[in-house]
Chains A and B, each alone.
Chain A
Amino acid sequence: MRARLLLSAMFGALLASAAMTAANAAARWDGADDLPTNPLACGAGGAAAPVAAKPYNGGRAINPPDKAGKEITIVDVPKLIGIGYFNATTKGQQEAAKELGNVKVTTDGPTEAKIDEQIKFIDNYITRGVDGILFAANDPVAIAPVLKKALSKGIHVVGYDADAEPDAREWFVNQTEFNGFAKAMIDSMHKEIGDDGAFAIVTSTFTTPNQARWIAEMQAYAEKCYPKMKWLETVEAQEDNNLSFNQATTLINKYGDKLKGIFGMTSVATPAAAEAVTKAGLCGKVAVVGGATPNAMKPYVHSGCVKSFVLWNPIDLGYAAVYVMRAVVDGKLKPGDTSVDAGRLGKLNVINGSQILLGPAFVFTKDNVDKFDF
């Protein structure tokens, strides 16, 4: 009798807490992180209010061997291998390695975007002994202990695409300003669905760092400039093609006419969402906007299903990451520096203390998508 009372009390507490957390979550879009946002000005050409230069907040490698000018071996562990986006970053890394001549870089990683697997990969490479580790994190906090272990063994750590906690790595190559990407995404969607359209978001997971940052900035910008646009739901699709397609189709079936647009937050989700819209026969009625590689989107852009999508050049991103690693090893990039030389990309600026900015987001449309091949 007492046991039953205890049990029901426990279940009641569980349900109450679920309700509480649900109520809390309603205040913020699913998939957004808790960091402060800095939305850009509304309308065309809005530039950010200049943010005060921040002091260096990255970690330091402890007693790294001096390999200035000598050959180094570095490993690249992206979120997962086998998708077009990270194939492109690898291509850029190999290009930079060839240009520099004294860098050997291999890409190795899990075949699914799982943080536990990624940690084991990095740990194995620490044991093997590499000079530097490049990474794109599946989870910014979970990856921190193993990266700090690398730093403590004198291995240099540079991130790209998806950051870890700042003190777990030395530098992070940021492909584009988070608020710039958010503005480009929301503006593109607004152009297609108007002031009071309703949209849903397909992302990787709610804790993947870059997606979480973008969604937070997108929320801030949308609330500032288009307060009547309605956010319906965010769903997770783990960078998996089939899952992204199924999630997008579920959204279409669930909201029916109410759904006017779908955001794809990963290079896998956007073409999958476009495919779902095409298969549902809703091209032109449901807008699809997101980050994606040109090659994946060309068929949908040409069929008119997708009017525009946003990205940067992942080949440049990989290229810059290797140059940054080389500069760190050579001692040419030190805490407190404000820019770094990145080969054919010229000088890249340091922002937010220890991030290196690749450049502004780029909007692809029918008119320019054919010029690119990645």
Chain B
Amino acid sequence: MSVSVETRVFRAPPWLKRHETVLAIILIIALVGLGLMNDRFLTLDNLLDQGRFITETGLIALPMTFIIITGGIDLSVGAIVGLCAIILGHSWKTFGFPLPLAIAFALFVGALAGFVNGFVITRVKVPPLIMTIATLALYRGLAEGVSQAHSVRGYPEWFYFLGQGSVFGVPAQLLLLIVLIVIAGVVLDRTTFGRTLYAIGANETAARFSALPVDRVKLIVYTLSGLASGLAAWVLVSRVTTTRMDMGTGYELDVIAAVVLGGASIFGGSGTIWGTVIGLAMIQLLKNGLALTGVKGDATIVVIGVALILSVLVASSLERRQD
């Protein structure tokens, strides 16, 4: 005779197994841990301050999420930041534009740079990786050429408000970022445009044959990426009060790390704005918390690398269990 015993298997609710939730939990654990080790870390002052540093990478990470969801990539964002910063400074100082016009012109140049990327990627069918590596060098070279390596300084006081001012205690650029995060999140989740991005990433050919405007959508996201880089350049110049030709070097890696950490698959088809935000926060707050705790210099990067690997491992093992 056999006795069958019914065992209760614990099934985790679906939202718990999502990559973003795991990441959020790891982030909270890390924050609490670092906060215990150092009493300056979890102060409102410090967190808002870190918000300032997050903004430049954050602004670019939003359209980068869109691009990575479509299965593409944009490595030229750092160079576009440099180019727009130079255009902002030099069109004001050397060409004599009034400063608001110079800012608008810099944003326009950023959007144009992104448009060129998107145009060649969609019309000439050059793979995004190759095109943006090429434009990375091209735009950086343009920045060098226009600026002749001279930096521009001496902006009027009102210009510094975006990078250094606060509204009701919240840093001005952080407010801008929050507004854009909400808009980007709504667009990705609730609009046809957003669904099209996922469709392109999942299966581009199927999307084309479903009469989705694939080329137009791709063109739009690359232009947005350039525009966001221009915006980031404006915030950066306002924060450091000067324009340098080497601004933005290395930004592309920080941005892509945040997006991929946030759960977007590099092959396209998945990813959320919420995940990107957690990824951003995690990298910046870990760096800051570790530095405050006394971990010297670049040792913080080692710890962050380990944290990234751990979180990706945990998330992917959870996904496998789900299958």
Binding site for B on A (CB under 8 A): 10, 13-14, 17-18, 20-22, 24-25, 30-31, 81, 108-111, 114-116, 119-121, 123-124, 127-129, 139, 141-142, 144-145, 205-207, 236
- Whether B140 is near chain A, meaning CB under 8 Å from some CB there, is no
Specify which of B94, B148, B246 is in contact with A30 (CB 8 Å cutoff). Answer: B148
Q: Are B146 and A145 in contact (CB under 8 A)?
A: no
Q: Are B94 and A21 in contact (CB under 8 A)?
A: yes
Q: Are B292 and A17 in contact (CB under 8 A)?
A: no
Using CB atoms, name the residue of chain A closest to B46: A127
Using CB atoms, name the residue of chain B closest to A120: B53
Closest 7 CB pairs of A and B: A206-B149, A141-B242, A142-B240, A124-B291, A25-B148, A141-B153, A207-B151
B292-312 Cβ-contact flags toward A at 8 Å (1 or 0): 100011100000000000000
Q: Inside 8 A of B213's CB, which chain A residues have their CB? A: none
23 contacts between A and B (CB under 8 A): A14-B142, A17-B95, A21-B148, A21-B150, A24-B94, A81-B297, A108-B297, A110-B297, A110-B298, A111-B297, A114-B249, A115-B240, A120-B287, A127-B292, A128-B292, A129-B40, A139-B240, A139-B242, A141-B242, A145-B239, A207-B150, A207-B151, A207-B244
Give the distance to chain B from A77, nearest Cβ to Cβ, in Å. Answer: 10
Q: Are A142 and B150 in contact (CB under 8 A)?
A: no
Q: Are A14 and B146 in contact (CB under 8 A)?
A: yes
Give the distance to chain B from A172, nearest Cβ to Cβ, in Å. Answer: 18
- Whether B316 is near chain A, meaning CB under 8 Å from some CB there, is no
Q: Are B147 and A124 in contact (CB under 8 A)?
A: no
Given contacts A30-B149, A144-B241, A145-B239, 4 further A-B contacts (CB under 8 A): A17-B94, A21-B146, A141-B240, A207-B151
Tell whether A205 pairs with B246 under 8 Å between CB atoms, given A17-B94, A142-B241.
Answer: yes
Q: Are B297 and A127 in contact (CB under 8 A)?
A: no
Cα A114 to Cα B148 in complex, Å, equals 19
Q: Inside 8 A of B241's CB, which chain A residues have their CB? A: 141-142, 144-145
- For window 214-267 of chain B, which residues contact chain A by CB distance below 8 Å? 239-242, 244, 246-247, 249
Cα A124 to Cα B155 in complex, Å, equals 26
Range of interface residues on B (Cβ < 8 Å): 35 or more
Cα A205 to Cα B247 in complex, Å, equals 12
Q: Are B151 and A145 in contact (CB under 8 A)?
A: no
Cα A115 to Cα B243 in complex, Å, equals 12
- For window 153-185 of chain B, which residues contact chain A by CB distance below 8 Å? 153, 164
- Whether B90 is near chain A, meaning CB under 8 Å from some CB there, is yes
- Whether B189 is near chain A, meaning CB under 8 Å from some CB there, is no
Binding site for A on B (CB under 8 A): 38, 40, 45-46, 49, 53, 90-91, 94-95, 112, 142, 145-151, 153, 164, 239-242, 244, 246-247, 249, 287-288, 291-292, 296-298
Q: Are A123 and B49 in contact (CB under 8 A)?
A: yes
Give the distance to chain B from A207, nearest Cβ to Cβ, in Å. Answer: 5
Q: Inside 8 A of B40's CB, which chain A residues have their CB? A: 127-129
Cα A111 to Cα B147 in complex, Å, equals 26
Q: Inside 8 A of B247's CB, which chain A residues have their CB? A: 116
Q: Are B146 and A18 in contact (CB under 8 A)?
A: yes
Specify which of A10, A30, A110, A119 is in contact with B240 (CB 8 Å cutoff). Answer: A119
Give the distance to chain B from A174, nearest Cβ to Cβ, in Å. Answer: 21
Q: Are A145 and B296 in contact (CB under 8 A)?
A: no
Q: Are B296 and A108 in contact (CB under 8 A)?
A: yes
Cα A84 to Cα B129 in complex, Å, equals 38
Cα A258 to Cα B298 in complex, Å, equals 43
Tell whether A124 pairs with B292 under 8 Å between CB atoms, given A109-B297, A110-B297, A115-B244.
Answer: yes
Using CB atoms, name the residue of chain B closest to A31: B149
Q: Are B240 and A127 in contact (CB under 8 A)?
A: no
Q: Are B90 and A17 in contact (CB under 8 A)?
A: yes
Cα A65 to Cα B134 in complex, Å, equals 54
Q: Are B242 and A142 in contact (CB under 8 A)?
A: yes
Cα A124 to Cα B247 in complex, Å, equals 21
Q: Inside 8 A of A111's CB, which chain B residues have their CB? A: 297-298
Using CB atoms, name the residue of chain B closest to A236: B149
Q: Inside 8 A of A114's CB, which chain B residues have their CB? A: 246, 249
Give the distance to chain A from B5, nearest Cβ to Cβ, in Å. Answer: 57
Give the distance to chain A from B154, nearest Cβ to Cβ, in Å. Answer: 8
Q: Inside 8 A of B150's CB, which chain A residues have their CB? A: 21, 25, 206-207
Give the distance to chain B from A111, nearest Cβ to Cβ, in Å. Answer: 5
Give the distance to chain A from B113, nearest Cβ to Cβ, in Å. Answer: 12
Q: Are B53 and A141 in contact (CB under 8 A)?
A: no
Using CB atoms, name the residue of chain A closest to B142: A14
Using CB atoms, name the residue of chain B closest to A126: B49
Q: Inside 8 A of A110's CB, which chain B residues have their CB? A: 297-298
Q: Inside 8 A of A206's CB, which chain B residues have their CB? A: 149-151
Q: Inside 8 A of A31's CB, which chain B residues have their CB? A: 149
Q: Inside 8 A of A13's CB, which chain B residues have their CB? A: 95
Cα A25 to Cα B287 in complex, Å, equals 40
Q: Inside 8 A of B94's CB, which chain A residues have their CB? A: 17, 20-21, 24
